[in-house]
Amino acid sequence: IAGITQAPTSQILAAGRRMTLRCTQDMRHNAMYWYRQDLGLGLRLIHYSNTAGTTGKGEVPDGYSVSRANTDDFPLTLASAVPSQTSVYFCASSEQVGDYGYTFGSGTRLTVV
Amino acid sequence: GEDVEQSLFLSVREGDSSVINCTYTDSSSTYLYWYKQEPGAGLQLLTYIFSNMDMKQDQRLTVLLNKKDKHLSLRIADTQTGDSAIYFCAESMADKLIFGTGTRLQVFP
């Protein structure tokens, strides 16, 4: 089934540790996005990529980095996790920039202790 | 930053209509969207409306847009227990979607 695969599904992480959340899509979408979802705050954009080889910062980029070496993969890295990064992380994609029918993954629930 | 605002909770009886409201900030948004998130899942696009439209109807869903007041609403007719979910409105801004805080709809028998 075409779509977005995120891994892991959930993770408990010690503060200070490095963690990479994986996101892979098989729809050949050009644009990809990382959001975090927090109660009462909705979804906030962390980083995005309009096409392979390019990335940009969203609303809340601090403490996170991304790369886009190819069309399919868009990993999100927490270099040194802090408790405020406890959240549910969603990866999304759209066919082109400006095409807003986003497809979302099922999310990664991350707890930093 | 930009704020897209929604009330956090809505509770309705099965069979009644639900109305979920949203206010947005960017009058230049070309499209406005409603997404649905079921428990433990990602968001799914429910419907959208082009900014030059006032209303869009799709089966049990009716979207109303008041551009003057920057107000968007989603009406669900004959609400069912399967409609229980979190509903997000979103506006397009600078080639990206800005989401609201989400409204949790609870449907009781």
Which of B96, B101, B103, B104 to mutate to test binding with chain A, by most A CBs within 10 Å of its CB? B96
Tell me the DSSP string of B19-32: EEEEE-S-TT-SEE
Mean pLDDT of chain B: 91
The DSSP letter of residue A85 is: G
Residues in Cβ contact with B46 at an 8 Å cutoff, skipping those fewer than 6 apart:
B33, B34, B35, B36, B61, B74, B87
Asked if the model's pLDDT at residue B1 lies above 60, the reply is no
Q: What is the pLDDT of residue B2?
A: 56
Collect all residues of chain A within an 8 Å Cβ-Cβ radius of residue B95.
50, 97-98
Q: Distance between CA atoms of A49 and A56, rounded to whole angstroms?
A: 6
- Restricting to B residues 37-56, those with a Cβ less than 8 Å away from any Cβ of A are 40-45, 48
Reduced to 3 states, what is the DSSP secondary structure of residue B108?
A: strand
Distance in Å, alpha carbon of A92 to nearest chain B alpha carbon: 9
CB B106 within 8 A of CB B39: no
Asked if the model's pLDDT at residue B29 lies above 80, the reply is no
Q: How do beta strands A10-13 and A108-112 pair?
A: parallel
Q: Distance between CA atoms of A46 and B53, rounded to whole angstroms?
A: 31
- Taking only the tens place, the pLDDT of each residue in B50-95 is 988 899 999 999 999 999 999 999 999 999 999 999 999 998 877 7
